């Protein structure tokens, strides 16, 4: 298997001779070996929200499946991401200096220049290169797939992938159509090079910027003169705006489609999937997708009842809870799919944990 310093030969199909390895054979495999998560102690339930905007517990529960959400009071994005990362590293039986790279999927960094390097410092992962990746609620899936490419090419062996968001910072708390949906949190996994085959069985990532207007957190600026001859635009970010019906329609059509593509690429049928973990946006979306794929509801992992939509954190948070409960066990086949602003969407199918240990 190639490692640091290995030379990878690209060999076209059909010209492989005996003893000459194909690219697939040369690639290092990847295994997701552990998870961790972090949540906020401050809880905002539906009844609390009904005292803030014109809504009710009944409306929120029946339309979304959400009862409560945890929101940050004093924890920074870095605090949440560090806590989730620390647990994932410890659960892998590793220490922070073992990590080669940290990818932090977030749309709500503490610093627009990137929060991942601060997470690296807080963890004490001194060997790791760290950077942010922004793909909204698809962020964790995109970050996991990105990490896999670095491992497959033999460049890095252990990568910490974190999904963390504090959307409460950017929610319009007077808009009942969005403020009932979101919560804060973080989840993380450690991906490791595997010399016993690849446990990432397939992935797909998509975006369609034509639908960007459906879900936004835009920069809005005003012209400002600097000196007598130049102008710049300065301003800040507004609040989250969303066309809920459009995003709902998009999700129930595109998510089953992308999962079907990944199943096909992985040469799998839906019955083979042990657990389906979708971005925790709305219970109705989760159930519609499972139904389209003929995956029974009991295989759906959902915790949005407790946390709401935590954006990039939602999939690793649900995954970590299911691992901690003993639901997800070594060797289980897991399908994950994210979708959201961009618009972006994507899916990955992987086998959980070390198979040989």
Place of tokens 């797909």: 204
Active site residue 279: yes
Q: Interface residues for ligand UT7 in 155-184 (CB under 6 A)?
A: 176-177, 180
Residue 67 CA to residue 93 CA, distance in Å, equals: 35
- The 8-class DSSP code of residue 238 comes to -
Q: Interface residues for ligand UT7 in 269-308 (CB under 6 A)?
A: 281-282, 285
Using the contact rule CB under 6 A, the part of the chain among 39-47, 112-120, 247-255, 349-357 near ligand UT7 is: 247-255
Catalytic residue among 91, 166, 279, 282: 279
Q: Is 251 in the site for ligand UT7 (CB under 6 A)?
A: yes
Q: Is 139 in the site for ligand UT7 (CB under 6 A)?
A: no
CB neighbours (10 Å) of residue 308? 31
Active site residue 309: yes
Residue 68 CA to residue 301 CA, distance in Å, equals: 17
Q: Which residues pair with 231 in a beta bridge?
A: 225
Active site residue 303: no
Place of tokens 């060997």: 127
What's the token pair of residue 343? 């618009």
Q: Is 244 in the site for ligand UT7 (CB under 6 A)?
A: yes
Q: Is 106 in the site for ligand UT7 (CB under 6 A)?
A: no
Instruction: Provide, rounded to whole angstroms, the least separation between the CB of residue 216 and ligand UT7.
Output: 11
What's the token pair of residue 299? 């295989």
Q: Interface residues for ligand UT7 in 190-229 (CB under 6 A)?
A: 215
Residue 134 CA to residue 311 CA, distance in Å, equals: 11
Instruction: Provide, rounded to whole angstroms, the least separation between the CB of residue 166 and ligand UT7.
Output: 14
Q: Interface residues for ligand UT7 in 49-78 (CB under 6 A)?
A: 55, 59-60, 63-64
Sole binder of ligand UT7 in the list 224, 245, 297, 329 (CB under 6 A): 245
Confirm if 28 and 152 have CB atoms less than 8 A apart.
yes
* Radius of gyration of the chain measured on its C-alpha atoms: 21
Q: Which residues pair with 35 in a beta bridge?
A: 189
Confirm if 77 and 106 have CB atoms less than 8 A apart.
yes
Interface residue list for ligand UT7 (CB under 6 A): 55, 59-60, 63-64, 137, 176-177, 180, 215, 244-245, 247-248, 251, 281-282, 285, 309, 340
Q: Which residues are catalytic?
A: 137, 279, 309
């Amino acid at each position: 298997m190639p490692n640091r310093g290995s030379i990878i030969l690209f060999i076209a199909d059909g010209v492989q001779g005996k003893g000459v390895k194909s690219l697939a054979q040369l690639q290092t495999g990847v295994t997701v070996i552990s998870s961790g998560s972090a949540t906020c102690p401050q809880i905002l339930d539906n009844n609390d929200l009904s005292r803030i905007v014109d809504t009710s517990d009944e409306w929120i529960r029946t339309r979304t499946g959400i009862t409560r959400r945890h929101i940050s009071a004093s924890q920074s994005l870095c605090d949440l991401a560090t806590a989730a990362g620390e647990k994932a590293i410890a659960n892998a039986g590793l220490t922070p200096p073992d990590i080669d790279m940290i990818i932090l999927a977030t749309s709500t960094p503490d610093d627009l220049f990137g929060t991942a390097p601060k997470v690296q410092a807080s963890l004490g992962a001194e060997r790791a290169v760290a950077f942010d990746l922004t793909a909204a609620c698809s962020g964790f899936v995109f970050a996991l797939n990105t990490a896999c490419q670095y491992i497959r090419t033999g460049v890095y062996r252990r990568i910490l992938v974190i999904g963390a968001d504090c959307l409460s910072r950017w929610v319009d708390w007077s808009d009942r159509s969005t403020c009932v949906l979101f919560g804060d949190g973080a989840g993380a996994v450690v991906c490791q090079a595997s010399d016993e085959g690849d446990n990432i069985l397939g992935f797909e990532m998509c975006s369609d910027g034509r639908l960007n207007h459906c879900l936004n957190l835009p920069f809005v600026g005003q012209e400002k003169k600097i000196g007598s001859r130049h102008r710049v635009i300065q301003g800040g970010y507004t609040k989250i705006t969303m066309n809920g019906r459009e995003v709902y329609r998009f999700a129930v059509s595109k998510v089953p489609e992308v999962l079907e593509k990944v199943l096909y690429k992985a040469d799998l049928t839906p019955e083979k999937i042990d657990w389906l973990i979708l971005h925790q946006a709305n219970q109705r979306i989760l159930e519609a997708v499972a139904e389209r794929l003929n995956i029974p509801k009991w295989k759906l992992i959902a915790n949005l009842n407790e946390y709401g939509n935590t954006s990039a954190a939602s999939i690793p948070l649900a995954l970590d809870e299911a691992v901690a409960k003993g639901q997800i066990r070594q060797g289980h086949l897991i399908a994950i799919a994210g979708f959201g602003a961009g618009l972006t969407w994507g899916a990955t199918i992987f086998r959980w944990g070390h198979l040989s240990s």
